[in-house]
Structure 1
Amino acid sequence: MIQISNKIFCEEFLTQLDIETKILPNPYYDYPYMIIKNFLSKKICDEITTSTQKKDDAIDAKVRKKSILIKEENLNKKIRNTKIHKLSPFYEKIYLKNFAKHQKDIEEFFSLPLTTSTKIQTLEYTKGSFYKAHSDDSNVLLKDDELVGFIPVAPQRKITSVLFTTSHNKEKTKNSFQGGELVFNYLYDEEGNQIHLEPQAGDMIVFLSNPYFTHEVLEVKDGYRLSLVQWHDGIIN
């Protein structure tokens, strides 16, 4: 294991790969990712959740692919079983206003001035939904089924932000989910435990989009998991 912050370690093989989009935060931080508590109020989160549940605009989320000749997105429910909704302009305005309040802190944390951001994706996970391990900016390179590297497919994704409007709870309650933890596949704590995050409504998790932060959403066992996801470009100093 290689230490990348005061409390977090990563698998050593990553440091031996030529990762084109490698960026890491200040190693003297406790954690290499941010958790912004109460990014939105519980009331607004409940409103977004309720309004989304009433919509019939959901489409199946696709998986980004890249080959030598083409870039494309494919539907593969063995890798990703998720629905995407559109966020209403009213709640989008509230979200963007609050993101602007936190943008300076995000930029300082990652030493990365932000430039452009994608449209907000509203991602719905119901019972049985999941998203297998993936990097937001790269696909894996395999040789004889062994991981030998990563190839960038979305280098404009420097930072990922995920805002939760429902909560992870062990018992079923309104606007909650069981299972569905956010896992960083190559990151571990001081005791060697893989990093599993169990977010609460209003939490925003911000992390770098490169392969060091490969992650997955474990299968939702019950309930309703809703998150607002964006990817942000920035200027690397």
Structure 2
Amino acid sequence: MKIEKTLSNILDKNSIQISNNVFCSKFLFELDLETKLIPNSYYDYPFLIIDDFLSKEEYLLINYDLINSFDYEKAKLKTLDTYPSRELNENIRKTNIYKLKKSHLEIYNKKFKQHQAQIEDYFKLCLTSFSKLQVLEYLKDSFYSMHSDDSSMIYENKKLIAFKPVARNRKLSSVLFTTSYSEEIHDNMSFKAGELVFNFLFDKNGDNITIKPKAGQMIIFPSNPIFCHEVKKVEDGRRISLVQWHDAILN
């Protein structure tokens, strides 16, 4: 009981509760954030997870095609200095980008439309446009360090002091996984480590909110700095995710 009380005091002092089960670093709310969409604070979580967005047959077909494809490029970064162009910096991001087969893209778009009303209701907005779908491959030692999907991070003397929007058309981010997190790797359908971590979001024990992906599962979250995230370094296997950003009119 004493330990629980101490943890509660720490959370009260250093964080703000933004949903029933999630707290956010108070530091962010002390900054002048231009973008800061947060879903209803009475939800259990400030993000939406849709299990079985794709069937097993569908994500296995996608994985099979990607395994046999050589049509990819190294992922580049969009920063305040390089916007609207991009630069390659494997000290921050090391991953490959593939092109999705047209028939698979049609399946993805059909499934997204089926869930669109649910997504719009959850975040209380109206989706208006969508970015080109990115198919990201993380192999052994691949990763993506902390970042915000709609803003560049500004540092002074190595201290994070502000965020500057560079992609205002990104209101929501969606990530669909076609391979699964696993402690042991037996095939090309799983990977070890490579968790999705929200850097400024915590549970009631003060631990970072961490997603261990499951094939066929989609997570949707606001693209703003409150939802800064990273992909931990993959230790083994093949982590595949389909990423898209969505513009919207906020209600």
Structure 2 length-normalised TM: 0.92
| Distance in 2 between residues matched to 1:173 and 1:44, nearest whole Å | 20
For 1:222, what is the secondary structure of its paired residue? strand
Which of 101, 106, 130 does residue 88 from structure 1 map onto? Answer: 101
Q: Secondary structure at the match of 1:23?
A: coil
Which residue is equivalent to 1:201?
215
In the TM superposition, 1:19-168 aligns within 5 A as 19-67=33-81, 71-168=84-181
Query: Structure 1: which amino acid aligns with 2:244?
Result: Q
Q: Residue 158 of structure 1 contacts residue 234 of structure 1 at CA under 8 Å; is this kept in 2?
A: yes
- Cα deviation, residue 142, structure 1: 1.2
Provide the C-alpha distance between the structure 2 equivalents of 1:173 and 1:109, rounded to a whole number of angstroms: 37
* Code of the aligned partner of 2:133: I
**SS of alignment partner, residue 64 of structure 1:** coil
Aligned to 2:9: none
Unaligned segments of structure 2, at least 5 residues: 1-14
In structure 2, the partner of 1:176 is 190
State whether residues 20 and 41 of structure 2, in contact with CA within 8 Å, keep that contact through their aligned partners in structure 1.
Answer: yes
Instruction: Give the distance between the partners of 2:95 and 2:119, measured in 1 at CA.
Output: 27
* Partner residue of 2:203 out of 189, 211, 222: 189
Of 244, 247, 251 in structure 2, the residue corresponding to residue 230 of structure 1 is 244
Q: For 2:46, what is the secondary structure of its paired residue?
A: coil
The 8 Å contact of residues 25 and 200 in structure 2, kept in 1 or not, is answered as yes
Identity %: 50
Q: CA deviation at 1:160?
A: 0.3
Q: Is the 8 A contact 1:66 1:72 kept in 2?
A: no
> For residue 218 of structure 1, what is the aligned residue in structure 2?
232
- Deviation digits for residues 16-74 of structure 1 (CA, Å, limit 9, x no counterpart): 1111011110000000001100000111111101101111111000011123x954310
Q: Report the CA distance between 1:145 and its aligned residue.
A: 1.5
Change in 2 beyond 3 A, CA 1:90/1:8? same
C-alpha distance in structure 2 between counterparts of 1:169 and 1:60, whole Å? 25
Q: How does the TM-score come out when normalised to structure 1?
A: 0.98
Contact 2:83/2:166, CA 8 A, preserved across alignment: no
* Count of matched residue positions in the alignment of Structure 1 and Structure 2: 236
CA distance in 1, matches of 2:96, 2:150: 20
CA offsets per residue over residues 110-162 of structure 1, 9 Å max, x none?
11110000111100000010000000000111112111110001010000000
CA-CA distance at 1:223 after TM superposition: 0.3
- SS at 1:25 equivalent: coil
What's the Cα RMSD here? 1.0
After TM superposition, where is structure 1 displaced by more than 3 Å over at least 4 residues in a row? Answer: none
Counterpart CA distance in 2 for 1:173 and 1:201 is: 15
Paired amino acid for 2:129: T
Unaligned runs of 5+ in 1: none
